[in-house]
Structure 1
């Protein structure tokens, strides 16, 4: 109801001089005058409810379109699953590999180079001053030659006084980002510095050259105790593990890799080598039927949300005499009919499947789809026809396209700039704006009407008060005269 503002002087319920109830009279008259505003406000509330319902339908159709697009993408139909006959030796993950099997054997794992120093009393023990240079590259199998890594630059770390303890040297090596990780391992023999390359493969090897402040770069005293360069006959640190490539064989083809993860050896497969094998491991690759079924099931859920919204928003409950917010809305009723007609049609591109019921999506009387799981499972065994059923394109007749194609187009047309949902929302919002403008105009008019009525009735009250006073005076005079 319109809000009527009291613009006149403050009055009691009774008038100033006559007892006339000005407030009550004006309020009642203004409630009648404000009825058009009340009607417009109620109409606007209904429009806003419709706009909200349109928004719900828009969101539901958008979700349905997302689900339809998944069924229309090549990646969905190329998705695969892979299993290993010995997952403790080889683990595998598939993206889009072709169905088949692969025999894989592992003769060597890729490894990182690891060096360890002699034992010190503890991590606070002073080692010595000078500089350490770490250079990445590749060692020969007997460690007699070293080839510097192409494009890599040796890193030199200066070890000054006060920074020459075992733990401080560890921290400075890590801060230098020389491609190795330094750590301290402590056991019953004491603390040892361990250097390990941060990646695996033959080219991740490294040598450690030392310029010792004590002048002896090749002995085991001072900082030179951390040197490792067999090409210069210096090996103060111990080689615990050499940098090496992984060596495997896939279907008779030898594979050499710096990493234990073979991500490009077989298209669409990521093969992770965990340990060497005494016999070939079988990797089996198949289509991801479970993933496809989930995508189809997700679409059915999204589709049913749209169908239920159409039904609930447009229905009329004769028993309770209540109507949905969009009952009688021609745009939404038309969309409901279009979607039902589309889903109830057929395609000739799906081979063994022509209607949605053929793959286990049974249309129900309320416009929703009921999923027949066993029927869908059977359809998933014929992926060639099922893919065409959803994604096929008929260049001469778009109405014969696969169902995912058509559902996606329905959503695009509906939600587009000129689509029924978009134009419907604009029309409703335009009506709301027009009503609000009219309400504003009427409220300005009502303020003037109320001001005029209060002035008129206040004047009447004043006049009646004077007349009452005159009447009392005349009565008094007659009384005195008669006496």
Structure 2
């Protein structure tokens, strides 16, 4: 009897095809589950995007419900080429008359001209900070400052002297300026102000500390009748008046004259400094919120709508949680508040809610509304102690966003439920795969047995046919 080497050879049946189709039918529920899981994962992804958009909205609403936003001030100068101004914490709204007669300046000295790369002599030079009298006849050392001595060698060029001065920490800055006459050493105070003047004395190795030769060419001390270097600028304080009040400042950056106001002097002259509420920053905060709100509403609408023209449903179409969130957000936005005085609804500010739920900004109307800052502030962040639903809109937007994205919020809860379904489906898929594998083994064994039996019957039939033929021929 012939042996069977492949399923189906004995019976003539396409056993492999039969088994494959039977197993495919058995696995159909797995395909259905995997398809449903893919849909759920898409929904989870959509909720992730919505949660992120809610967080962005929450941050924008928090800015509108922050007192700092509404307390921000801005300052302007009528002549920004003469002085610039910045308003900070503690500054108050008002107008200030500024009259600057003199800018703060550092002391500056320059030496005689030297040949390029020439040496200047050897010895030591001592630099001391302090204040000169009006005619430079007396010098008062600066409190807390210590004279600095610098050793100069015979091989030091003007550039070497410059570098030694700059690394000494003497409170001055040195540079080499070269023109058609040669190179000069220029030394100036590091800081402006009359208390930051300086004098330079030398111990010249040539034995003479007061002439203009050798190292003493870099000396400057009028109190000792030494003026080898030339004073180009005298150390001076800025002199100004603010609303008639005389002020003297060692720097051109005036920070303490008016609370919270920083004035940067650029040149002598007069200017008017005006301080008022920063309407531009409030306007930007409102527009930033509108942008985040519209982004969220558009995202939720696209995910929950049914497109009749394309016959396609959004990822969350019919999802009660998503639809509910959309409805709640719309209700808060449309409800307004009675705390805003002249403004009770967003439309009063030029923020109009369209049919799609998004907000359109009428810039002219919003700009006009910024003129009533107190009412505007109350509409967004006012607090009603008797009715939380009448609180300012920004406060309610923020509270709602915190609630829906919180640990037990609708988005978190819904996402957890969807994820649980994914886990359950994956577990069921594993079970069905195991069952399908067992089914395939069972069916394949049955058809193998059938194939073997059919092969035996076919062999028997062939044998009987041959035997009958032999008997008939005899």
TM over 0.5: yes
Between the aligned partners of 1:36 and 1:359, the Cα distance in structure 2 is 57
Moved more, 266-275 or 108-117: 266-275
Between the aligned partners of 2:331 and 2:206, the Cα distance in structure 1 is 91
Q: Output aligned runs, 1:391-470, within 5 Å.
A: 391-458=381-448, 460-461=450-451, 464-465=454-455, 468-469=458-459
Match of residue 107 from structure 1 = 101
The answer to whether the Cα contact below 8 Å between 1:246 and 1:257 also exists between their aligned partners in 2 is: yes
The answer to whether the Cα contact below 8 Å between 1:13 and 1:22 also exists between their aligned partners in 2 is: no
Cα 1:231–1:17, aligned 2, differ >3 Å: closer, same or farther?
A: farther
The answer to whether the Cα contact below 8 Å between 2:120 and 2:154 also exists between their aligned partners in 1 is: no
What SS does structure 1 have at the residue aligned with 2:338? coil
How far is 1:185 from its partner?
0.7
What is the aligned length?
469
How far is 1:390 from its partner?
1.5
How far is 1:449 from its partner?
4.0
Gaps of 5+ in 1: 1-11
Between the aligned partners of 1:139 and 1:332, the Cα distance in structure 2 is 77
Matched, 1:87 2:80: yes
Between the aligned partners of 1:481 and 1:87, the Cα distance in structure 2 is 130
| 2:31 counterpart (6, 27, 38) | 38
Match of residue 126 from structure 1 = 119
Match of residue 223 from structure 1 = 215
How far is 1:364 from its partner?
2.3
Match of residue 243 from structure 2 = 251
Between the aligned partners of 1:137 and 1:293, the Cα distance in structure 2 is 51
Between the aligned partners of 1:451 and 1:177, the Cα distance in structure 2 is 91
How far is 1:461 from its partner?
4.4
| 1:304 counterpart (287, 294, 300) | 294
How far is 1:460 from its partner?
4.7
Match of residue 231 from structure 2 = 239
Q: Deviations over 1:7-50 (max 9, x none)?
A: xxxxx997566555444333322222222221221111111111
How far is 1:482 from its partner?
4.5
Q: Deviations over 1:430-476 (max 9, x none)?
A: 22233233333433444444445445545554555555555555545
Between the aligned partners of 2:97 and 2:217, the Cα distance in structure 1 is 47
> Over the residues paired in the alignment, what is the CA RMSD in angstroms?
2.9
How far is 1:135 from its partner?
3.5
Cα 1:113–1:452, aligned 2, differ >3 Å: closer, same or farther?
A: farther
Between the aligned partners of 2:454 and 2:119, the Cα distance in structure 1 is 113
The answer to whether the Cα contact below 8 Å between 1:13 and 1:24 also exists between their aligned partners in 2 is: no
Match of residue 47 from structure 1 = 40
How far is 1:103 from its partner?
0.9
Matched, 1:193 2:185: yes
Moved more, 451-460 or 234-243: 451-460
The answer to whether the Cα contact below 8 Å between 2:119 and 2:154 also exists between their aligned partners in 1 is: no
Between the aligned partners of 1:219 and 1:266, the Cα distance in structure 2 is 49
Between the aligned partners of 1:44 and 1:223, the Cα distance in structure 2 is 89
Cα 1:103–1:472, aligned 2, differ >3 Å: closer, same or farther?
A: same
Between the aligned partners of 2:365 and 2:6, the Cα distance in structure 1 is 79
Between the aligned partners of 1:456 and 1:154, the Cα distance in structure 2 is 108
The answer to whether the Cα contact below 8 Å between 2:87 and 2:260 also exists between their aligned partners in 1 is: yes
Match of residue 288 from structure 1 = 278
Moved more, 373-382 or 46-55: 373-382
The answer to whether the Cα contact below 8 Å between 1:13 and 1:23 also exists between their aligned partners in 2 is: no
Q: Deviations over 1:382-436 (max 9, x none)?
A: 1121122212122332222111211111111122222212222222222223323
Match of residue 98 from structure 1 = 92
- How does the TM-score come out when normalised to structure 2? 0.88
| 2:58 counterpart (53, 58, 65) | 65
How far is 1:121 from its partner?
1.0
Match of residue 386 from structure 1 = 376
Match of residue 5 from structure 1 = none
The answer to whether the Cα contact below 8 Å between 2:7 and 2:448 also exists between their aligned partners in 1 is: no
Matched, 1:372 2:362: yes
